[in-house]
Amino acid sequence: MVLLSPSIGALRKLLRICERYAEAHGLRYNVKKSEVMVFRAPKKDYSDIPPVSLYGTPLNRVTHFKYLGHWVTEDLKDNMDMERERRALCIRCNMLARRFARCTEQVKVTLFRAFCQTFYTCSLWANYTQGTYSALRIQYNNAFRVLMGLPRYCSASGMFAEAHVDGFHAIIRKRCASMLARVRSSPSTMLTTCAGRWDSVLLAHWIGLHTRASA
């Protein structure tokens, strides 16, 4: 469960509501597993933040936390989550290469699509460094080379085209297009409002991916 608030005072009110609800239903939140994080604006210092308490116990302030498998950081950058995906991709690739080395190319391609093209929550990546993005792309390309037993420096676009497998950029564009379509068609007015904001960083990123691809 995540509470979002524009101020410390409003966050305290939300926590009191949660406390009353839990008490009325015979529940209790785990204070040790509860944390508070302050999103930082650029060039702003938030070192002096009033304490936020749950059941009278001050919550530990963190700079990042994992929510539904996605790393959220105080600077709203996606480098940490992209690095999580890069490491997970490396592990999955090594597992496939070790266990299915003697399988046919068709089987390997099927396994690669199933295990190496998921890129969990990649449609939410909008603020990252080019170095982090390139590292994930290179890991994806190398994963296919290792699984298929191809030379290390063979053409990435050529090997994917020959195997009829989507390249890294194609996967990212498809995931983002799917996410945008689902948000816009959602019955939730909150989601459709967010999708309709042209000043949204996420929307600008989604559109930019397809604009650069078609340029």
Same domain membership, residue 90 and residue 49: no
CB 52 within 8 A of CB 36: yes
Nearest alpha carbon to residue 122 among 76, 84, 161, 65: 84
Domain assignment present for residue 72? The answer is: no
pLDDT for 210 equals 62
How large is the average pLDDT for residues 97-118? 94
CA 194, CA 108: separation in Å to the nearest integer? 40
**How far, CA to CA in Å, does 191 sit from each of 3, 182, 196, 205?**
17, 9, 9, 17
pLDDT for 204 equals 79
Domain assignment present for residue 73? The answer is: no
Same domain membership, residue 48 and residue 86: no
Domain assignment present for residue 90? The answer is: yes
The domain in which residue 146 lies consists of 79-214
Write the pLDDT tens digit of every residue in 198-207: 777 777 777 7
Angle formed by the axes of helices 168-184 and 130-148, nearest 10°? 120
CA 82, CA 135: separation in Å to the nearest integer? 9
How large is the average pLDDT for residues 159-174? 94
Same domain membership, residue 171 and residue 97: yes
For residue 207 the two structure tokens come to: 């559109």
* Overall number of domains in the chain: 2
Could you give phi then psi for residue 164, rounded to 5 degrees? 60, 45
